[in-house]
Chains A and B, each alone.
Chain A
Amino acid sequence: MFLMRTMKLPHQLVTLFAAALCWLVAGWWAGTPADSAQGNPLALRSSAFGSLIARLMKDSLHSYWHGGQREAADVHDATRDVAPAGRLLRPRLARPAAAPPTGSWIAQWIKRLAALEDQRTTRNSPFAIRPAHRRYLSAAADRRVQLAWQFDPGDAALYEIAHFTAVARAATPAAARQAAEQLARQTIAHAFSPRSGLAEALTGAGAAINLLNDQLQPGRSPPATASLRRDWEVLAACLKRYRELRQQATEEAWWSDIPPVRQQEIESYSALLGKIAGTIRQQLETRGILNSASSH
């Protein structure tokens, strides 16, 4: 009745018909899309904001791996309970009485807030996680790892976990190898993108090492020399890019802006990768794939 009363039928119907026609023609037009977002709305993946999102997602990943609790590193703090993950609530309740808080009232409040936050993520249920639930948690964590890696393909930890899960969940060894190779190639491509940084170069080197390790496994049929040489060159190029960027960081004085903890992480990871690369080079030289003069 309302519609009948308010609509001036012919005019409104013609307008609606024209609207429908426009929409349909637009749909037909979009049948050959000129440029789609390629599954990357607002360019979040692989961008600076993607890195930020990936870092935030890592926190929730820890929670998935530890059955809802925060990461295990927390329990190594001397001021906290050293209970292993999954410990029940009862023993933890006695803790504040045994160790009364000291310091100013601000410190006490901060400590109390921290204790409340600990309790928020402490497992109270006396029942263990059931196998089906564990499978769900594992699958959910895998999905998050994949998503976080897509947001930041230059994150070494995310790449290594994504590599592990891709290999572990594949049905056949051939499928596992294919999945790992695809992941490694994408990571390497990202490491050589124009705006990649120190972390991306090292992650690319890690991916190249994974590719080489897979081919150099003792049980494998003799790998193709060309493929080994190509992957070695990729590894060397990634490490070279890292060294160049590291030098540039010192020269342009932005290395000192990086937090010390992160500096140390980057340095120790590059040292580890350099050591592994040295071992691989020796193996390749032994097999005669590389000349000792040309491999440096």
Chain B
Amino acid sequence: MMKAEHRWSLFRVCMAGLAVRGSCWLLLAGALVFAWAAPLLTPWDENPPILQPARAQAAWLYAWLALFTWLPFQAAALGRRLRCEGVLEFFHARGAGPDALCLQLSAAVAVWMLGVMLLACLVCLTVCLPTNPDEARLWLGLVLQQGVLYILVSAPLVLLAAALGTCAGEVIAFLAPVLLLFLGLLAASWLEPLLAGSPSFFHRCTWLVLPHYHLADLSPRLVFKMGPLAHADFLGSLSCLALQGAAISLTGLCVFRTRS
């Protein structure tokens, strides 16, 4: 019992620090406000059936936007602050290993990531739930798949931001995961025809070693109600993202520093 408390003390300290911050709660409130307000800006009055998918799209758009901005920034800032103030060194001296400290630190930010993800799922499963029970079952499967893939992408990136925050400047710690996410999620659609279709061996290898976060973006399936991924395809995407996530997490654990 004492050991468990000892092991998670940094997590509890970080959580207590974050929970008194207004921006954390604004992030969560913003998810609901954005999912409600953003679709109203679209020309839905000419075609009311597009409003419901637009709500699901807005909810997940917000989750991805949070992963581009607030989450890595907060993780990087927290890592930087704790190391500068000697908190990490203190916990290290009390006997906690660096890997455990890194995991606790990133878990404190990942809790808010999970909050955003759960709110996106909540929006999808309440206001956007199809009335036909069979279709609703498929929709539930799709939303769960999207939630799992989102966690697989975001958790390692948050860990990387927190770990880089302890060994490099805040700006670098923020920009590195954002750049990876941009490459994998947005730039992939432009790079794929250039690199994957190229006859050059070097180009094709470059495509393979880029992050493949586009596999985790199931927004087209949500917006156009295309149904969940087949099990084999989902497991394929899951394995690929899990492996890349493991690589990023291991790199994060490597660069984590506790010394002030």
Contact = CB atoms under 8 A, between A and B. Distances in A.
Contact of A41 (B41, B186, B232): B186
A179 to B, nearest CB: 18
Contacts of B27: none
A41 B189 contact: yes
Given A19-B250, A199-B47, 6 more contacts: A19-B254, A23-B247, A34-B233, A48-B57, A194-B225, A198-B46
B217 A42 contact: yes
Interface stretch (B75-83, B125-133, B235-243): B235-243
Given A22-B246, A39-B189, A47-B50, A34 B251 contact: no
Contacts of A23: 209, 243-244, 247
A94 interface: no
B45 A258 contact: yes
Contacts of A22: 243-244, 246-247, 250
Given A42-B57, A195-B53, A47 B254 contact: no
Q: Looking at chain A, what size class is its interface with the partner chain? A: 35 or more
Interface stretch (A49-57, A101-109, A116-124, A277-285): A49-57
Interface in B213-257: 214-215, 217-220, 222-225, 229, 232-234, 236-237, 239-241, 243-244, 246-248, 250-251, 253-254, 257
B61 A34 contact: no
Contacts of B48: 252, 254
A157 interface: no
B46 A199 contact: yes
A144 B60 CA distance: 26
Contacts of A259: 45
A79 interface: no
Interface string A10-30: 001001101111111111111
Interface in A45-84: 46-49, 51-52, 55
A38 B196 CA distance: 13
A15 B99 CA distance: 12
Contacts of B237: 34-35
23 contacts: A6-B257, A15-B253, A23-B209, A23-B247, A26-B239, A26-B243, A26-B244, A27-B205, A28-B208, A30-B212, A33-B236, A34-B215, A35-B233, A36-B188, A36-B215, A37-B188, A38-B220, A41-B186, A47-B50, A48-B39, A49-B38, A49-B57, A258-B46
A264 interface: no
B24 interface: no
A26 to B, nearest CB: 4
Nearest to A154: B47
B215 A197 contact: no
A25 B219 CA distance: 26
A55 B57 contact: no
B43 A51 contact: yes
A68 B90 CA distance: 61
10 closest residue pairs by CB, A with B: A197-B47, A34-B233, A26-B243, A43-B219, A27-B208, A19-B250, A48-B54, A48-B42, A22-B247, A23-B247
Nearest to B65: A42
A30 B215 contact: yes
Nearest to A38: B220
A287 interface: no
A43 B244 contact: no
Given A6-B257, A32-B236, A48 B51 contact: yes
Contacts of A36: 188-189, 192, 214-215
B239 A197 contact: no
Contacts of B46: 197-199, 258, 262, 266
Contacts of B217: 37, 41-43
A186 interface: no
Interface string A189-223: 00001111111100000000000000000000000
A199 B47 CA distance: 9
Contact of A6 (B58, B190, B240, B259): B259
Nearest to B235: A34
A33 B212 contact: yes
A193 B209 CA distance: 36
B247 A19 contact: yes
B44 interface: yes
Contacts of A126: none
B39 A34 contact: no
